[in-house]
Structure 1
């Protein structure tokens, strides 16, 4: 199966607790083996169980693509060493982003695949350059709908993308051109528009929150390129 429903201790907001790329998945500590096995089976890449500053909401703090994982400056040294050692085994870089300001929830503020990244318009130009160098892709500043939290308002892989229903037709065309994939609007978890917070997805599959409805799953499959 390329799509499965799951919950993390009764929470349907899987994207809050993890980050998926085509090379690796970062996921919160403390999940049972059965749920970890679902992630392995669907996403088909190694898992790194971790925390960031002893918090389990690693999907809020971390962002990235197949080239690199970005984490905020306040990550603990022990966490940094653990994640970095695991990433090196997969040939993925790790970059500590030193923005000492309020823009530390990188997972909420950065949306990326292996072609490009969209970051919150609140980032300064020098910040964008640092992200661009780390991820090795073109980076643009912008919003989805009226939302700066582009990482939670969307999910994009190397096969497709799904974003907040308030995205305009012009924004969808721009996103398609930027990420080089088809991008559609949709929801998850029974109407939640912040789809990036609701799922973990890469080019192999997608794991969605357990409240996601059948029609939402069909739209997610279409948007992320899993319908023939």
Structure 2
């Protein structure tokens, strides 16, 4: 069973890929072998695009089953691709890396504490989830400090008691900490997952794999 993989030699697969329950978004230059593994392992349809002209899809795209969030810097052709699969919300250009500043599943969203209350309210309404403005392990780029599926949340090992308490107030899902790629606490850079399964960077250890299994309950 394939669990570890790289993206054209790069173990940071979460930087290039954004996964939802039924869909994965990957760059135009994604290798066919990579696409095939993502489709089979996660049970998703894969679509190819750029976001803001870039291949770092995971950093620039966020959302859940209710739609996609990108910055207003996304091009009309990129937005058209996304709209073929769901609704699209735009962040202001000042927060242009949606995938870095939003961690979301179908039950909650955690957002960069620098996002304004007005934008946080728009995110909550668009994704139809409660929104928590917080850091994860004192890291403001929450989208890369953790991975959230509809089975649980795997978060940076520096997660504080205060952060845990705030998260547990808005979800009953399991919350755990871990790392990927031999100790990298920016879990979102190296792990992609949904309720069907997960894929993680090729340097990830057996202990780290076991922790992912434990938290998400695969």
Same fold (TM over 0.5): yes
What residue number does 1:154 align with?
A: 146
Equivalents in 2 of 1:62, 1:82: separation in Å?
13
Distance in 2 (CA, whole Å) between partners of 1:43 and 1:180 is: 23
Counterpart contact for 2:153–2:216, Cα < 8 Å: yes
Q: CA deviation at 1:191?
A: 0.4
Q: Provide closer, same or farther for how the CA distance between residues 185 and 76 of structure 1 changes in structure 2, counting only shifts above 3 A.
A: same
The equivalent position to 1:210 in structure 2, one of 167, 179, 202, is 202
Contact 1:115/1:180, CA 8 A, preserved across alignment: no
- Name which of 157, 161, 164 aligns with 1:165: 157
Do structure 1's residue 185 and structure 2's residue 177 form an aligned pair? yes
Question: Could you tell me which of 72, 75, 95 is aligned with 2:89?
Answer: 95
Shift of 1:173: 3.8
The 1-side partners of 2:168 and 2:149 are apart by 12
Contact 2:110 2:132 in 1 (8 A): yes
Deviation readout 1:48-80 (Å, 9 max, x if unpaired): 111012210011111011111101101111111
SS at match of 1:26: strand
Give the aligned partner of residue 73 of structure 1. Answer: 72
TM-score, scaled to structure 2: 0.95
When the two structures are aligned, how many residues end up with a matched partner? 218
Q: Counterpart in 2 of 1:200? A: 192
Q: Over the residues paired in the alignment, what is the CA RMSD in angstroms?
A: 1.3
Deviation (angstroms), 1:18: 1.2
Aligned residue number for residue 27 of structure 2: 28
Distance in 1 between residues matched to 2:122 and 2:31, nearest whole Å: 36
Q: CA deviation at 1:170?
A: 3.8
Distance across 2 between alignment mates of 1:21 and 1:118: 16
Contact conserved, 2:134 with 2:163, CA < 8 A, in 1?
no
Q: Matches of 2:45 and 2:169 in 1, distance apart?
A: 30
1:18 alignment partner in structure 2: 17
Q: Is the 8 A contact 1:200 1:207 kept in 2?
A: yes
CA distance in 1, matches of 2:110, 2:52: 25
Q: CA deviation at 1:94?
A: 1.8
